[in-house]
Chains A and B, each alone.
Chain A
Amino acid sequence: MQSKMKELDPILEVENLSASTDNLPILKGVSLTVYPGEIHAIMGRNGCGKSTLSKIIAGHPSYNITNGDIKFLGENINSLEPEERSQSGIFLGFQYPIEIPGVSNLEFLRVSTNARRKFLNKEELDTFDFEELVKEKLEIVKMDHAFLSRNVNQGFSGGEKKRNEILQMALLEPKIAILDETDSGLDIDALRIVASGIKKISSAQTGIILITHYQRLLDEIKPNYVHVMSDGQIIKTGESDLALELEEKGYEWTDNFIKET
């Protein structure tokens, strides 16, 4: 495949990862390597372990890693707290962004951005400087300033929540972003805004993992690789045309791969 990229060090290496929750195995040996500039798509049926994989990479406490490693920029991060992972540049865009009553979006975004800036030895921003920065980033997701004074995700529509996720990604400037079904629940205009936002934020130095069911997001953001997951494993990896094939033939087609392996 694209051997040019391989000269760089990988951003994320998931090595033979198995994980469980309440003693129930969810991941059964997943391996995935993301190099700078790459976009990976992970597809698969509901319950195949896609979302779990994303949560485990972000450090969700409900899952136990039973085998394998997650390396970020060459370092094992299995035992890092979620906040440490975020500060060092891992971003998870939530499928269902959580509502936090009583906490203003602006304050939340500022505290979050400053945590990342502190890690990068950048100066932390006061309210005024942060206002400037956030104004600029709001453009990317075409969000109104009024969103900032509302409570985090509270009363947001589905589309607004997803745009708020991308706004957070824009502020945190992660090394790797894992976007869990960011396209679900979006109308076609919102999908375009979100997709163009993701493209603007990503660069040759960053990696992106898109978790999705649908081809329509991949029409907007063309992945380098497509992985198909089933029952906690990646059962097939291909290039972007794999997604098209999958769209055409449906997941039933992938059932054959399981039988083969």
Chain B
Amino acid sequence: MVNENLVKDAVKEPYKYGFVTDIETEKIEKGLNEDIIKLISQKKEEPKFLLDFRLKAFKKWKKMKEPDWAALGYKKIDYQDIIYYSAPKQKEKISSLDEVDPKLLETFDKLGIPLTEQKKLTNVAVDAVFDSVSIATTFREELAEHGVIFCSISEAVKNHADLIEKYLGTVVPASDNYFAALNSAVFSDGSFVYIPKGVACPMDLSSYFRINSGDSGQFERTLIIAEESSSVSYLEGCTAPMFDTNTLHAAVVELIALDDASIKYSTVQNWYAGDEQGIGGIFNFVTKRGKCLGKRSKISWSQVETGSAITWKYPSCLLLGEESVGEFYSVALTNNLQQADTGTKMIHIGPKTKSTIVSKGISAGNSKNSYRGLVKMGTKAKGSRNYSQCDSMLIGDQASANTFPYIKSQQPNSEIEHEASTCRISEDQLFYLQSRGIEFEEAVSMMVSGFCRDVFNQLPMEFAAEADKLLALKLEGSVG
């Protein structure tokens, strides 16, 4: 009826971050082979162990097949038609932010991530990644005073090779899956975080990923290590320009928490989603996993996924340490022809481990939104517990929502609880709010925020406000 169209229109919103920065870049030739991998490694002046790591991963990747089990449909990716390294041309060695190309600083300014000393955000340290390289990391000295290392992974390879060699690929081995193998072979940059024993990181850490180039993929790699009794809250944001081609983004994130350590990892993903006809947009194939290695350690993922043409992402927890805790809080919004297949894996290995999954999927337009999750209780996971809640909200009558919960238990003395629900924003609900003077779009946004509240409550404060606004923007006009 009348409101059906209104609902559809409210999901249309021009993408604010679709601009391209006109900057001279250094790109290597298209395609993927051993020489390309050697070239990337050489450009980054990497130690031999890392080149070996890359080449081994590449060998594995060549033998693997692109997974097709997800509820996603897309044109086959031509991996030889992608540029695997693209970096803005800059001076060889940059010693301070003053030497960074003003165009790059301006780009991050426009994205709301000011980097310069005068303007930088006061309560959060930022690592800004542009295509294949990290541009700048703020608050490094302040963090260093606490022994916290926060830098690009390229720098970590140079300055903290021991930590990289010890931990890289220990949570997500190169052979884990097709996209993880690809990333392991060609990853260019990303963030590295090390929180020493007993330190509560004094401020939030954040990485901002910007894809600028249309024909190169982004393959970032993030590694976070929280030593005994330490804690950190890490935020991640991502945007990309509007191109009518698809850009591949295949990242790997590894988290390691030792005894009594806690890592909170929050993402607001707003890659370009393609246009209303589904042309263009980022293909987002990401492997994120945390290892609760220590006793009573805790890893908490929260994500707000609103962008990308395709999202394939399952931030997971390996719960090894006794009484360790894994959490996954997710909001995934799809509109137009977007497709998302996202969820989590909670692998309970140690005894008395606990996990919580709260997933909220919102599908509008002709989009497809699937939750896929695995909860596994291993033989030693005695006294472990899981609670999962998966809710879907449909806007309009063309969108679809699926839930695929997989449960495997090898331990009778453990508990798994799963709840799921599906709802649709009804015309009566909208009319009720409207008849109380609340504008149509605000009414939709109130209901969507209400639906997502359990997840938003888990986000750091500024992030929660941003996420709320972002969802409202994305839905604007889909109900108009």
Contact = CB atoms under 8 A, between A and B. Distances in A.
B446 interface: yes
A172 B436 contact: yes
B429 interface: yes
Given A102-B449, A102-B450, A111-B446, A62 B436 contact: no
B1 A108 contact: no
Given A102-B451, A112-B438, A119-B437, A94 B1 contact: no
Nearest to B449: A102
A60 interface: yes
A60 B431 contact: yes
Contact of B429 (A62, A92, A100): A100
A58 B435 contact: yes
B175 interface: no
Contacts of A108: 433, 436, 438, 446
B4 to A, nearest CB: 10
A68 interface: no
B436 A97 contact: no
A151 B437 contact: no
A204 interface: no
A98 B429 contact: yes
Interface in A127-161: 151
A100 B433 contact: yes
Interface in B445-461: 446-447, 449-453
Nearest to B3: A61
Given A62-B427, A108-B446, A111-B446, A101 B438 contact: no
B116 interface: no
A83 interface: yes
B431 A102 contact: no
Interface residues of A, number: 31
B423 interface: yes
B439 interface: yes
Interface in A99-120: 99-104, 107-108, 111-112, 115-116, 119
Contacts of B453: 102
A108 B431 CA distance: 14
Interface in B119-164: none
A81 B430 CA distance: 12
A36 interface: no
B428 interface: yes
A172 B437 contact: yes
Interface in A56-83: 58-62, 81-83
A65 to B, nearest CB: 13
A168 B432 contact: no
A58 B434 CA distance: 9
Given A98-B432, A100-B432, A103-B447, A86 B437 contact: yes
Nearest to B421: A101
B440 interface: yes
A86 B447 contact: no
A82 B442 contact: no
A98 B428 contact: yes
A240 interface: no
Contacts of B431: 60-61, 82, 98
A115 B435 contact: no
Contacts of B426: 98
Main secondary structure of the interface of B (DSSP, over half): helix
Nearest to A55: B431
Nearest to A82: B434
A112 B3 CA distance: 20
Nearest to B428: A98
A83 B438 contact: yes
Contact of B436 (A60, A81, A86): A86
A83 B437 contact: yes
A87 interface: yes
B438 A115 contact: yes
Interface in A153-203: 168, 172
B370 to A, nearest CB: 22
Nearest to B453: A102
A61 B436 contact: no
B1 A62 contact: yes
A83 B2 contact: no
A112 B436 contact: yes
Given A61-B3, A61-B431, A82-B431, A87 B437 contact: yes
A195 B275 CA distance: 54
A72 to B, nearest CB: 14
Nearest to B6: A61
Contacts of A104: 450
A111 B438 contact: yes
Given A86-B434, A86-B436, A86-B437, A111 B442 contact: yes
A178 B440 CA distance: 21
A103 B425 CA distance: 13
B435 A151 contact: no
A242 B200 CA distance: 76
A62 B453 CA distance: 30
A245 to B, nearest CB: 33
Contacts of A99: 429
Contact of A101 (B1, B436, B451): B451
Interface string B383-414: 00000000000000000000000000000000
Contact of B450 (A62, A92, A100, A116): A100
B435 A116 contact: no
A111 B441 CA distance: 13
A86 B426 CA distance: 20
B436 A151 contact: no
A85 B453 CA distance: 30
Contacts of A92: 435
B26 to A, nearest CB: 49
Given A62-B2, A116-B437, 10 more contacts: A61-B3, A62-B427, A81-B434, A83-B440, A94-B432, A100-B433, A101-B423, A101-B451, A111-B438, A112-B433
27 contacts: A61-B1, A61-B3, A81-B434, A82-B431, A83-B437, A83-B438, A85-B435, A86-B434, A86-B437, A92-B435, A98-B426, A98-B428, A100-B429, A100-B447, A101-B450, A102-B447, A102-B451, A102-B453, A103-B447, A104-B450, A108-B438, A111-B442, A112-B437, A115-B438, A115-B439, A151-B450, A172-B436
Interface of A: 58-62, 81-83, 85-87, 92, 94, 97-104, 107-108, 111-112, 115-116, 119, 151, 168, 172
